[in-house]
A and B are shown apart, each in its own frame.
Chain A
Amino acid sequence: MADSKLDLMKGTLDLMVLRTLETMGAMHGYGIARRIEQVSADKVLLNQGTIYAALVRLQNKGWITAEWGESENNRKAKYYAITKTGRKQLAEDTAYWTRLSGVMNRVLAMTDEGESR
């Protein structure tokens, strides 16, 4: 039922979250959202709220775990950490994504030459 575009977005956001957790270690939702915004140089228009749907999805799949903890400025926050299966999944998805984007780039380049515009 859902839009195919949204599906892709969903997939990409999950991947970004996994990668962030792998490189940065355990983080809370706000931290992850901020990190993604920073890395993408604010080019991703991310409603920070949507991160929580991705987090619960990954949690249901067993790729990340969650635990309540204290932030550096003494605020209670839920911390997320990547699991072993999460890392494996991330490796697979990264390989897939790299291949896909490579193919996409090539295909799109070809289209550019073919069209007169």
Chain B
Amino acid sequence: MIRVALNRIRAFLGKKTREADLDAEMAAHLDLAIDDNLRRGLSPDEAYRTALVSFGGLEQARERHREARGLPSIDSLLQDLRYAIRTLRRDRGFAVIATLILALGIGANIAVFSVVNTILLRPLPFQGPDRLVWLEGNDGVGGLSDLTYRVDVWEEISRNVRSFQSVAAYVPYYDYSEFKLTGYGEAQSVIGIWVSGNFFPTLGVQPARGRLFSREEIVSGGQPAAILTHAFWQRQFASDPNIIGKRILLNYRPYNVIGILPETFDFGSVFEPGMRSDFFISIPVNTIRNYGHMLAIVGRMKPGVTAQQAQKDARLVLSQSKAQDPNWVSDVKTIAQPLKEHVSGKLQRSLLVLWCGVGMILLIVCVNLANLLLARTASRQREFALRCALGAGSARLMRQMLTESLVLSSAGAVLGLGLAFLTVRYLAHQQSLALPLLSRLTIDSTALGWTVVIAAFTTCAFAVVPALGMLRGNLAQSMNDAGRGMTEGRKNEGLRATLVVSEIALACVLLVGAGLLLRSFLRVTEVDLGFQPSSAAAMRVDYFDGGNRDKRGAVLKEICDRVAALPGVEAVGMSDKLPLDRARSWGLRAKGRVHPPEYNSSAVVSVVTPGYLKAMGIRLLSGRDFTWRDSSTTDKVIIINRAAAEREWPGEDPIGKIAEGIGITDTRVVGVVSDIRESSLESQGSPAVFVPATQAEPDGENIIIRSQLPASALAPSVLRALRERNPDQPAAEFRSLQRLVDRAVSPRRFFMTLVTGFAALGLILASLGIYGVISYSVIRRQREIGVRMALGATTRQVEAGVLSRTLWLALIGILIGIVGSLAVSRGIASLLFATEPTDAIAYSVVIALLGSVALLAGYLPARRAARVDPMIALRAE
């Protein structure tokens, strides 16, 4: 068998010599035969004739020889290919439009597949990623302070939960990540993450250069060491390999650079989407032991252990510890989920919706092309009939059609791949997009494989319909009819109408989905944030107070006053926390009330200066703002939000009430502000409390400046004012509050934009489809229209006839589409915000839109039909 195959391939490759060989052999055969015949006494003419007759057809013999010899299927495939390319080149307009449509459809599919593949399908870029689990306290609900762990709990889990091989931790608070790098020109703001010593070994990440933390460096009080990310190493140190072993100054403290992480390791993309990281330092465990809930925890399970077992195990261990320490309330409700699920689980549904949407686009594209091809087949009936008459079997003609669509799909796939490549590269560099793993987005071999699958699918999908349409026709009849254009168009009309209806239905489903997502998005952006993000910006401020609260008041006041004096600045205030950013929380309880043992008293804390509320645009509902007179020596005061007031003092006026849990001593409520969207735009305001910077320890301060000037114009003067006081103030980033909001809605905006884009594409394709079908049927019926007009039909009647047909098609399509949408929209209900899946406005807008687009697409051919001059139409044949 192998020998036969080899011989055949050899024959296929050496076609020329084989042909010549055969020709020589056949010539010899004829000569021998003629010799024989002459010997038998035939005349030369007769001898030649007889030899030819008994040989049979020369061409047939050659053809059979080729079939037995080489690879006839490839031979004829090549022939088909050449023919297809020639045909398409003749019909350039069609080929270009078809390729473009396909490129859009296929490109969108590859791009979306790459996103799905990167976020959902590909394993995390760590060793043995399926054994990594993410641990969260408090059943996984609440703010960062509810979900994270205290140092002793982490130690307890690492020591006693037997499901884990190792348990790593990092500090997820943004405030702890900001460092000042000095010694390299102007002081710079850099991002360092505090990680446990076993963080990288647990993930299975090896440094690209140098080493990881040594035992001495992990111990509190040991030699401070830093491991740099690859990007930071490139950016800051120009990839200098000699940086390892040198010391760098971070917050004026020397750190040994001990290693460089591999380029593939992107901390932010996995753990904190959208966050940059420059270096990693070891957690000073004993320093932060009493800071409260500080650590986010990742565990590596022992082989064969499931996340459920690990969770059960952890809960058991922690509930035993709880008996000893009543503080460990939220920790017992630990949940363990596979890290992958933690990273991308929330996006699963959105991505699947996106995938379906883009799949529908592909279907619409196929339907559209099937329609175009069908129209072409109709006008090529004569050609096919002729080829049939010349002996081409219908299987061969089918194959010809398939080859043509293969050529188109391949061209579309190549172009689409280019489009997808550009899109993917653009997306991978969108840092403001808070989607995980996005920096790893590439078109990999899986995506290429998917491209091939899609191209094969489109080839079959849009070739089958016209091929069927062709086969149903009677070829002999076509020969007679094709030129006359009376009966021939009819038989495919039904098929074409079906295609258009399905196209409209698909577009309708897409549009409804996009409409619902768009409305949700608008609803989210209309949400009352509780503060005014426009024309306000924040910057990290570096100051020195020696940890002295009295001194701090004076320092901060001076900074605020200086900045407030700048031209264009309307209001200034400071806070150690910005809304929609990472938050910590403390307990807040009304004094004198008995709380149940498992009472969740947490409230998000911001340590602020007077003027903060005004600078943020937060509404004060009652009471007063802080003043600079609130100092370490005066009454301890707090401002709470409405949610906190309603939780702790329901039905009472909270002003003047005493609270406990904020700091060591009791505090008095002096003001109530409106609720603020603290963690996300979608979740209702949770209890929040504001504490004056002179009465608590801020985790570094941000200065918030309200001004009509753009942030870029403001930044230099603010920086100059800050440096007058503190020359080491780093050139920190000036973040507009609007950007914080935009970042929070970025995933929603991303999905909404894509689905809307797909819907628009679907709408355009569907309208093209309608236009094509109607104008085609108008052309086919030109004679009939001519006759009717000659018999007295008015222009208007002709127009109405065409339009009503269009509307019928659209109506049926929309009806089917609406039914489909009702079914589909339930599936995306969880992605909607304050929008019902049956939202009447979205549906009616879609119906109106599709109806009017269909009308327009039908109107143009209708007008053309009405302009038909009966005489010309009748003579045309």
Contact = CB atoms under 8 A, between A and B. Distances in A.
Interface stretch (A18-26, A44-52, A98-106, A109-117): A44-52
Contact of B28 (A34, A54, A57, A76): A76
Contacts of B32: 28, 30-31, 71, 75, 77
A108 interface: no
Nearest to A31: B32
A73 interface: yes
B28 A52 contact: no
Nearest to B31: A75
B25 A29 contact: yes
Pick the most buried of A34, A54, A56, A76: most chain B CB atoms within 10 A of its CB.
A56
Interface string A65-104: 0000001010111100000000000000000000000000
Contacts of A59: 7
Interface stretch (B55-63, B91-99, B574-582): B55-63
Contacts of A76: 24, 28
Contacts of B248: none
Contact of A48 (B21, B54, B67, B69): B54
Contact of A60 (B3, B29, B57): B3
A71 B26 CA distance: 14
Tell me whether chain A's interface is mostly helix, strand or loop, or mixed: helix
B35 A47 contact: no
B60 to A, nearest CB: 7
Contacts of A34: 36
B65 interface: yes
Contact of A52 (B7, B35, B64): B64
Nearest to A2: B67
B67 A77 contact: no
A62 interface: yes
Tell me whether chain B's interface is mostly helix, strand or loop, or mixed: helix
Nearest to B10: A60
B187 interface: no
B28 A78 contact: yes
A114 B195 CA distance: 95
A30 B7 CA distance: 24
B35 A60 contact: no
Nearest to A60: B7
B61 A49 contact: yes
Contact of B60 (A31, A49, A57): A49
B28 A30 contact: yes
A48 B30 CA distance: 10
Contacts of A57: 68
Interface in B1-59: 3-4, 7-8, 11, 21-22, 24-26, 28-29, 31-33, 35-36, 54-58
A1 B767 CA distance: 43
Interface in B246-270: none
B274 to A, nearest CB: 60
A96 to B, nearest CB: 19
B497 to A, nearest CB: 35
A76 B32 CA distance: 10
Given A75-B31, A77-B28, A61 B55 contact: no
Nearest to A57: B68
A33 B55 CA distance: 9
Contacts of B21: 78
Contact of A78 (B11, B25, B67): B25
B56 A47 contact: yes
A83 to B, nearest CB: 12
Given A50-B64, A53-B64, A57-B68, A28 B57 contact: no
A49 B28 contact: no
A49 B35 contact: no
A73 to B, nearest CB: 6
A43 to B, nearest CB: 14
B56 A75 contact: no
A33 B67 CA distance: 20
19 contacts: A29-B29, A30-B28, A33-B29, A47-B57, A47-B61, A48-B33, A49-B60, A49-B61, A50-B56, A52-B22, A52-B25, A53-B64, A54-B68, A57-B68, A60-B8, A60-B11, A75-B32, A77-B32, A78-B21
Given A33-B29, A62-B3, 6 more contacts: A29-B28, A49-B26, A60-B11, A60-B68, A77-B32, A78-B25
Interface of B: 3-4, 7-8, 11, 21-22, 24-26, 28-29, 31-33, 35-36, 54-58, 60-61, 64-65, 67-69, 395
